[in-house]
Amino acid sequence: MTPPAREPHGEAHLTLAYVLGAVVGPGWQPAVDLLTRTSHDSDFAPDASVYPKKRDPETGGRQLEELAFEIAETRIPKLTTLKARELSRRGVRRVFCVLLSKERVLEWSRATDTWSPMAAGDEILDRCFVRPLPIAALLDAAAADRAVVDALEARRHPAIVEIERRERSKTLRTALLAVLSARQLVPTAAERTEIRSETSARRLRSCIERAATADTVRQALARGRRSKRRA
């Protein structure tokens, strides 16, 4: 039987899964409550883990996870320590515990056979991650959001690329309108709509160049070759 989680514990589970889903790099798979046997009769399942996507070449099954994460509330239970020890012995490369009441993250040490605390400002650097994972992201919702955004940016996620494209176009549209205003060229309602609906950064840059010397807004918005200023 798996005991149910109270509010802080359950919320921490969601934060952990949320962050890992973003920071894990290509070729790696994050999971929650994934069964990992350390013996024939064990049923250990880390709260979250990261393992290679590539299947085991000999068995065709999944490969052993490289990272495992546990969440504890007021203290680290004996079972969590036993799980860390056995998972490490089994071959799991790194095991972490998020201790909520102390707002700390600890890593299991094979050398000392005990938990080693990490500093609040530390980051978890690992080959499974696209960028280092700040400890704060496992303890604070705002830090988790920041870590997710940074990771998506590092992965060049299509959503981030699209946001950057929109922001770049918005900046260029604002610049075009500023140049026209500085030269006392007033767009008609239709021309203003055309400018505000333009999304091509290349065209907007060309319009800005033309606006510097154009006699009319229409000349600035002309497509194709640059319009010559009338004498």
22-35 tens-digit pLDDT: 999 999 999 999 98
Stated pTM of the model: 0.78
**Taking every pair of C-alpha atoms in the chain, what is the biggest distance, in angstroms?**
91
Chain segment 181-212, per-residue pLDDT in tens:
999 999 999 999 999 999 999 999 999 999 99
User: Does residue 78 form part of some domain?
Assistant: yes
In the block, residue with structure tokens 């079972």: 79
- pLDDT tens figures, 38-74: 888 888 889 999 999 999 999 999 999 999 999 998 8
pLDDT for 200: 93
Tokens of 133: 């994972």
Q: 51 and 113 share a domain?
A: yes
Cβ–Cβ under 8 Å, residues 107 and 127: no
Please tell me whether residues 17 and 113 are part of one structural domain. Answer: yes
Confidence of residue 231 (pLDDT cuts 50, 70, 90): very low
Domain containing 212 equals 159-221
Residues 108 and 204 in one domain: no
**For the chain, give me the number of helices (H) and strands (E)?**
7, 8
| Cβ(139)–Cβ(170) below 8 Å | no
Q: How far apart are CA 165 and CA 63, in angstroms?
A: 38
Would you say residue 81 lies in a domain? yes
Does residue 229 fall inside a structural domain? no
State which of 127, 155, 183 marks the end of a domain. 155
User: How far apart, in whole angstroms, are the C-alpha atoms of residue 35 and residue 17?
Assistant: 16
Task: Tell me, yes or no, whether 101 and 202 share the same domain.
Answer: no
150 shares its domain with 36 = yes
The last residue of a domain, from among 107, 137, 155:
155
